[in-house]
Amino acid sequence: MEAPAPAPPAVQHQPTVLFDGSVLPAPVTITPAGPLFGLAALANNLGGTLEPDENGESFTLTIEGKDVVIAIGSAIITVGDNIVSLSQPPIRGEGTLLVPLDFLQKTYGDLAGFAFDWRPGVQQLVISRRAAREVPVLLDVVHLQGMTTVVLQFPEAPRYQILRQPGEVDVQMMGDRLAPPPSPPPVADPLVQSVTIAPDQVRIQLAPEAQASSYVLENPFRIVFDVHLPSQEPVPVAPGPAPSERTPGVRTIVLDPGHGGTETGAIGPSGIQEKELTLTIARELEARLESQLGVRVVLTRNEDANLPLDARTAIANQNKADLFISLHLNSSLGAGAHGAETYFLSAEASDAAAARMAETENTAQPAVPEGTAGLETQDLELILWDLAQTHHLLESQRFAAMIQGELNQTLQLRDRGVKQAPFRVLNGAAMPAVLVEVGFISNPDEEKQLQDAAYRAELVASLTRAVSSYKALVENRPEPPQASQPVPPAQPGTAPPAAPQPKSPGRP
């Protein structure tokens, strides 16, 4: 029998890094979790600056104006203000800072357009400049109340910079190429003369004296320009019909029973769950509003089911609701908490999108998170929902004050006023929106009361009176509400003085 041929000796490859055909003097360490690469040598050749912090426990890598903060031993890094998880933590070794392959892809790859190909068979990292991507872009131009909003929507964030010249704004691609929409909408606008989409840039030609400010929204990625005349403050615009197109009134109300499904919400001392009571109260309020005010009422959920917060306001927007009321029961870490509280969105939360503007202009953008590609087909009416509540803060505050006033009277509470907080369920509502905590389920006495149908009937009557008062105010107002005026700046979390309330039209 012939002896098997001996296996050829395994070729031991020295790990190397190749860039543009040349070997870089970057150390490579092979670990069971994958290769690690010396960052300092790569930064010297690919660009960027790498600096340790004052006590040497973290480093900052700056690429294309973005800071990447790296903590030794931590698998989470920050890229600008974004959090990025790595397959393994950067470590010290071979006299330098060693980083994994996905670090390079998520920093130099996303920010500077490099491609990294690790070939384990030959223990070689090949770095190249990535070929230009073709990025589809959708265009929408909306003119409302003296301001034009131009929206450029992308399935993923392109690498771009914004250049401004008198009378025009250019969004220039940096390595990517744009694929214009097959039939871009015609632009006939008093403030924007034209929008031209070429493979390398989008040019927005402004009307004489018009000015444009810009900011970025995500999911899907959008660059938004607010174009206005110098005398007018730029005001974010929400989707939906312009106020002038709608007769003032309260015809449709969306009630949102808080929590549901696996999200129980607060749990009382006896075990009653917030999600059960909010649904009960919502159904009772629905019946009363329909019978006494003749309005259409839609519940965001009518069963014990999970419903994401963003879907709740989406239901209100799709139903073109005139009011959105999210119903909740409260709990507190301290003892003795009791009573009702009414919230509207904090201005700080609604300003978040605009606040991103300064950081994003004139810088290349990191890629949007995975899973957002393909959203380019999303209805363009949805584009501005991120800012929808900004449009209605004053009316939300007015409505919240009416609810709290009625609840104070019913529950014999001293006036706590209305409150502001960055509650997510209020963020996307394109109508006056409030979150009402009708009582503390964590308080044994209130938990017991809330299970009593007669007590709930009083609460429901209070809420109905508040809606009735607000409805009367809106319908008897000589002028449409100045919906585009944001609430004046206030200390975070504190509501400005309550708007004047109309005389109650009588208790229903």
Partner 1 sequence: MNRRAAAFILGLALALLAGGALWWWLQGLGSRGTENRPPAGTGKAVPVPFDLWIPDGIGLRVERRELQVTSAPKDRIRRIAEALLAPRPDGIRLFPEGVALAGVQLSKEGTAYLNLVWDGHEDPPASGSTEELQRVYSLVNSIVTNVPEARRVALLWNGLQRPTFAGHLDTSRPLAPLDALRTR
List residues near partner 1 by CB under 8 A: 54-58, 60, 67, 69, 71-78, 80-81, 83, 85, 89, 258-259, 263-267, 274, 308-310, 328-334, 336-337, 341, 343, 346, 348-349, 352, 359, 419-425, 427, 435, 437, 440-442, 491-494
Which CB atom, from 267 or from 380, has the smaller least distance to partner 1? Answer: 267
Which CB atom, from 6 or from 336, has the smaller least distance to partner 1? Answer: 336
Query: In which region does residue 427 sit, left (phi positive, over 0), alpha (psi from -120 to 50) or beta (all else)?
Result: alpha
Q: Which residues 6+ apart lie within 8 Å of 204 measured at CB?
A: 150, 168, 169, 170, 171, 192, 194, 195, 212, 225, 227
| C-alpha 436 chain-centroid distance | 22
Which CB atom, from 61 or from 195, has the smaller least distance to partner 1? Answer: 61
Which CB atom, from 242 or from 315, has the smaller least distance to partner 1? Answer: 315
Q: Which residues 6+ apart lie within 8 Å of 159 measured at CB?
A: 111, 113, 173, 174, 175, 176, 364, 365
- Shortest CB 73 distance to partner 1, Å: 5
- Shortest CB 358 distance to partner 1, Å: 11
Classify burial at 186, counting beta carbons within 10 Å of its beta carbon; exposed 0-12, middle 13-18, buried 19 or more.
exposed
- Supply 399's token pair: 């409505």
Which CB atom, from 38 or from 89, has the smaller least distance to partner 1? Answer: 89
Q: How far is CA 197 from CA 121, 185, 201, 268, 357, in A?
A: 44, 11, 6, 58, 22
Which CB atom, from 461 or from 495, has the smaller least distance to partner 1? Answer: 495
Strand, helix or coil for residue 224: strand
- Shortest CB 430 distance to partner 1, Å: 17
| Integer Cα distance of 128 and 109 in angstroms | 10
Match 């402004």 to its residue by tokens: 206
- Shortest CB 104 distance to partner 1, Å: 19
- Shortest CB 289 distance to partner 1, Å: 23
DSSP H or E segment with residue 444: helix 444-450
Which CB atom, from 13 or from 416, has the smaller least distance to partner 1? Answer: 416
DSSP H or E segment with residue 329: strand 323-330
Strand, helix or coil for residue 440: strand
Q: Is the peptide bond before 220 cis (omega within 30 degrees of 0)?
A: yes
- Shortest CB 375 distance to partner 1, Å: 17
CB 229 within 8 A of CB 192: no
- Supply 105's token pair: 């892809």
Q: Which residues 6+ apart lie within 8 Å of 183 measured at CB?
A: none
Parallel, antiparallel, or unpaired for β 124-129 and 16-19? parallel
| Integer Cα distance of 337 and 268 in angstroms | 13
- Shortest CB 53 distance to partner 1, Å: 8
Q: How far is CA 247 from CA 250, 251, 322, 385, 499, in A?
A: 9, 10, 11, 22, 22
- Shortest CB 346 distance to partner 1, Å: 8
- Shortest CB 112 distance to partner 1, Å: 18
- Supply 73's token pair: 């031993």
Phi, psi of 382 (to 5 degrees): -80, -10
Which CB atom, from 78 or from 410, has the smaller least distance to partner 1? Answer: 78
| Integer Cα distance of 142 and 191 in angstroms | 11
> Shortest CA distance to 137 belongs to which of 202, 84, 194, 89?
202
- Shortest CB 395 distance to partner 1, Å: 21
Which CB atom, from 67 or from 102, has the smaller least distance to partner 1? Answer: 67
- Shortest CB 440 distance to partner 1, Å: 7
Match 């009307």 to its residue by tokens: 207
Which CB atom, from 57 or from 452, has the smaller least distance to partner 1? Answer: 57
- Shortest CB 398 distance to partner 1, Å: 19
Which CB atom, from 92 or from 507, has the smaller least distance to partner 1? Answer: 92
- Shortest CB 416 distance to partner 1, Å: 9
Which CB atom, from 438 or from 463, has the smaller least distance to partner 1? Answer: 438
Which CB atom, from 332 or from 482, has the smaller least distance to partner 1? Answer: 332
| Integer Cα distance of 160 and 162 in angstroms | 7
Task: For the chain, state the CA radius of gyration.
Answer: 28
DSSP H or E segment with residue 348: helix 347-350
